Chain A
């Protein structure tokens, strides 16, 4: 039973890494949003399994927050936003999916190399979850770096936050208050970013962040 619970936790956390890679692979905005919703669903499953294994009922609340907020509300809102901005037909030009994927593999390897010795004393579930959560966070950063469209940058940011929640549930003893406040701060950040998006569009007629470069001060 001990062995099985470990394997299942590992499987779900590994599933999150896999879905992060699927996000990296997508080059259509609406597809990206669907994959992001799947990311949140896997996160809430993973958190719920941790709650069951650690017999910590407050983690079920975290799982519910992840499911409702990140798998339903935010993707639906982003969906509306994409339709209102009229960018749902756009195909994003990521600088070559192959090299990006290879970079992602490199980041996963890096997080294993860093995390496994660093958390050598922790119990096995926490250690594996930490290593995988670090790779989810790094992959989220990679999504933010390699994308030009502001909406996919938001999605990268949100998936990064999913990685944080995964790390927090793997390490026991995170109080519920902290998690709820993190979740709500993400929601607030999401609203602020949404407002910004429309402002950027109003100003530059695009949400491609490359366009911002051309308007830097002190440049001809």
Chain B
């Protein structure tokens, strides 16, 4: 009975991340429009867009291989698994043994691998340029992410997210390494989600774009699945930052239904605060040149290294 309940709660988490992801995108778009003194589309617009795309016919290029057709589902599946593993409203769920930071990084890495392959598959110039840029940024963003994971793991003594979150709740201290890791993780999140200083999510057909260039050839249900995966990725990164750095309010292992409900409410609150801060940052800053992005992402790598270094100072007493 307990096992069924545990799997049920894990299932709720899986469905919840999927259901909330387009809403988060809609929320950020709405806030951005309001900050620019425009009305903006409804928060529900991404859901409608996805429905519309699903109903449409998927158009394929003549020279599209099996990879092009299967890549959206692979990308979606890996991203969804990763997003469902991150503790959102409760720590210590049934599959939390698998919620390892390194495993999540690897899942996202394989999603990126398929996306870049799909971008190159048709052989258009845009797809190639997008894939090459994505890989250029990834060569710096992935080691940065790994260094941040090391910093967090050295502080908390584990790479398992549930353990990390519970450690942070119990031993809340000011650590300079954690501050550095937080800034680094924010930079990585902005890069991975193709947000403003790196890429502009609102434009199409611009020479500087990265993510949109790779998915330009997709249509219909394939595009819907890819868009949903992108939304899940944004939700994943905000939940990850919330889970590591502000885990308060999350339900613990043996909290009942009430604790879970409190966890859901605080999690949605954290998501909206995270989305709002991100949009605020985006409206205040201009997009940078593509050739300056490696320096920006390199900054995250540097912060991760510095965080690990400074850890040995504070460890040494």
**Please, which residues of chain A bring their CB within 8 A of the CB of B302?**
21, 101-102, 104-105
**Please, which residues of chain B bring their CB within 8 A of the CB of A124?**
317
A176 at the interface (CB under 8 A from B): no
B259 at the interface (CB under 8 A from A): no
Q: Which residue of A lies closest to B183 (CB)?
A: A18
Q: How far is the CB of B60 from chain A (nearest CB, A)?
A: 41
The dominant DSSP class at the B interface is helix
**Please, which residues of chain A bring their CB within 8 A of the CB of B281?**
none
8 A Cβ contacts from B283-305 to A: 294-295, 298-299, 302-303, 305
Interface residues as binary, A1-29 with B (CB distance below 8 Å gives 1, 0 otherwise): 00110011011011101100100010000
Q: How far is the CB of A144 from chain B (nearest CB, A)?
A: 20
Evaluate contact between A7 and B173: CB separation under 8 angstroms: yes
A145 at the interface (CB under 8 A from B): no
Bound-complex Cα distance A140 to B105 (A): 36
Q: How far is the CB of A83 from chain B (nearest CB, A)?
A: 22
Q: With A98-B294, A108-B309 as given contacts, are A14 and B176 in contact (CB-CB < 8 Å)? A: yes
Bound-complex Cα distance A6 to B294 (A): 35
Name the contact of A11 in the complex, choosing from B174, B303, B305 (C-beta under 8 A).
Answer: B174
Evaluate contact between B295 and A105: CB separation under 8 angstroms: no
Bound-complex Cα distance A116 to B316 (A): 8
B313 at the interface (CB under 8 A from A): yes
Bound-complex Cα distance A7 to B173 (A): 7
Q: With A25-B295, A101-B302, A116-B316 as given contacts, are A14 and B173 in contact (CB-CB < 8 Å)? A: no
Interface size of B by CB at 8 A reads 23
Q: How far is the CB of B94 from chain A (nearest CB, A)?
A: 35
Bound-complex Cα distance A108 to B176 (A): 14
**Please, which residues of chain B bring their CB within 8 A of the CB of A168?**
none
Name the contact of A98 in the complex, choosing from B183, B298, B313 (C-beta under 8 A).
Answer: B298
Evaluate contact between B299 and A132: CB separation under 8 angstroms: no
8 A Cβ contacts from A86-100 to B: 97-98
Residues of B within 8 A of A (CB): 173-177, 179-180, 183, 294-295, 298-299, 302-303, 305-306, 309-310, 312-314, 316-317
11 contacting pairs across A/B (C-beta < 8 A): A4-B173, A10-B175, A13-B176, A14-B180, A17-B310, A18-B303, A101-B302, A102-B302, A112-B313, A127-B317, A131-B313
